[in-house]
Structure 1
């Protein structure tokens, strides 16, 4: 059984996190105060016991000249004795349903390693963020600023005008600084990340508006989200949805659609994609990882 967390089950999520990740009490106090919210947290109960959970943290992503709401999947964990039983898979599918209901068109996550990355691929997630970009020196920003608002403005200026970049609010920044203080402000680089389109029509519509010269038809295959299984025609800055029984210029799986819409290494996919979907450098970092 899957339920949203509430004030009585929040401690169960905390205990699962502590068991699986082993983070310090100091870090967890910051995270569960600043980032955790019951309404964004799903718990899987097996025979009445909380055995698995995930959180859908709200952020914005700069996307083809707009900012879209996204869900950052965080704290995905299953107790050791409850693994390999499909509980996390059920939570992920339920999270997709929640995102559809809330009109959130894109999910992202940061996998711990290649093995974890492979776990998420069957759910339509694909790599869209690379590691290695040097991020702003948080300690320098804070120490040279007159107040937190000025520090945030300096921090935000690095990300605000970059397309395909996870943006941070002032409250996000406060939590990032507090966490960094715990670890003596370590140097930060961008992270490897994955993404997954939840609402293809919404994202294609934003793309079409930004690129009104584009005239193509795309047939999408998505085994998890039925509304995405259709042919979408882009013309004159608009998108129309057709039945998936008609033919299209492009036939794409949902993972490929995610990559091309975010402009992730489109030139390496094929010339057909790169001439339509401009290549970008998606960026994710400072996620309290």
Structure 2
């Protein structure tokens, strides 16, 4: 059974996180105070001898994401974990698919996550996630920013200016920044670089609508295939800055799975696609970092 967390199950999520990730109490105090929210947390409960036990959970943290000159709401997947004795039973997969429904209901068109290991990427690919962020790009030096600022507000403005002018990146609020600084202080302000990340289309039409508005001269029709989110299976026509659904029998020039679509829309290495795609979707440099990883 899958349910959202509440105050009676919050401690079970905390204990599960501690068991699986082994993070310090100091880090977890910051995370569960600043980032954790019951309403963003899904839990899988397994029945044992007529009792329910929380065995797997994930969190969908809300952020804004700069996307083709504007900002869209996204969900950042955090704390995906399953107790060791409950693994390989499909619990996490069920949670991920449930999360897609919840994001769609809440009007969130894009999901992002940062896999802890490259080997874990294979697991997420089966749910339509694909790499859209590369690791290793330099990020602002928090220690330097804070030392050169009069207060936390001024430090945030310097920090924010680095990300706010970039397309295809997660934007942080002043409250996010406060948590980032508090976490960094625990580890003596280590130098940070961008993270490897993956993305997944939740609502193809909404994302295409933003793209169409930004590039009103673009005229294409594309058939999208998505084995997990039914509403994404459609033919979309982009013309004069708008997106419409078309007759599925119409002959299409472009046929895309949602994993390729998200790479194209985020501008991730679009120059490596065929010229049919690369001349339509401009290449960007998607970037993700400072996610309390």
TM-score by length of 2: 0.98
How far the C-alpha of 1:35 sits from its partner, in A, is 0.2
What is the distance in 1 between the residues matched to 2:21 and 2:248? 43
How far the C-alpha of 1:270 sits from its partner, in A, is 1.3
Contact between 1:160 and 1:167, CA under 8 Å: does it hold in 2? yes
2:221 matched residue in structure 1: 217
2:157 matched residue in structure 1: 153
Matched, 1:258 2:262: yes
Bigger mean CA offset, 240-249 vs 140-149 = 240-249
Match of residue 122, structure 1, among 126, 130, 149: 126
2:31 matched residue in structure 1: 31
What is the distance in 2 between the residues matched to 1:161 and 1:243? 39
Where in structure 2 are the equivalents of 1:118-267 lying within 5 Å? 118-267=122-271
How far the C-alpha of 1:245 sits from its partner, in A, is 3.2
2:68 matched residue in structure 1: 64
Q: What is the alpha-carbon root mean square deviation over aligned residues?
A: 0.6
Unmatched segments (≥5 aa) in structure 1: none
Per-residue CA shift, 1:241-265, capped at 9, x if unaligned?
Answer: 1243332111000100010000000
What is the distance in 1 between the residues matched to 2:232 and 2:250? 15
2:91 matched residue in structure 1: 87
Number of residue pairs matched? 289
1:10 matched residue in structure 2: 10
Contact between 1:62 and 1:165, CA under 8 Å: does it hold in 2? yes
Any idea what SS the aligned residue of 2:283 has?
coil
Per-residue CA shift, 1:107-151, capped at 9, x if unaligned?
Answer: 000001121111000100000000111100001111111111100
Per-residue CA shift, 1:257-279, capped at 9, x if unaligned?
Answer: 01000000011121111100000
Contact between 1:229 and 1:244, CA under 8 Å: does it hold in 2? no
Any idea what SS the aligned residue of 2:126 has?
helix
Matched, 1:44 2:44: yes
What is the distance in 2 between the residues matched to 1:182 and 1:19? 21
TM-score by length of 1: 0.99
What is the distance in 1 between the residues matched to 2:33 and 2:235? 44
Matched, 1:285 2:289: yes
